[in-house]
Amino acid sequence: MQTIEPDHFEIVRDSLTGGRTTDEQTFASINILAERLENVRKLHRTLIDVEFSPYVQALVEQEMKLAVS
């Protein structure tokens, strides 16, 4: 039986555009994409300066604030 993995990019994009609520799945997807980005950076040093958009970074900050409160 085939397991269908969620499209993490789509989840984050839809959360940013209001197509879905920002929830635990959004933050889980951001974390998975961050891990993938880090792996790409390690393999291709020319991409070391690639980072998430300011909008995604704002979501990450929002998650951190929620975790603290």
pLDDT at 64: 79
pLDDT at 51: 92
Q: Supply the DSSP symbol for 49.
A: T
Q: Average pLDDT of each block of 10 consecutive residues along the chain (69 residues)?
A: 77 96 93 94 92 93 77
> Are residues 8 and 29 in contact, defined by beta-carbon separation less than 8 angstroms?
yes
pLDDT at 62: 83
pLDDT at 8: 96
Q: How far apart are CA 55 and CA 26, in angstroms?
A: 13
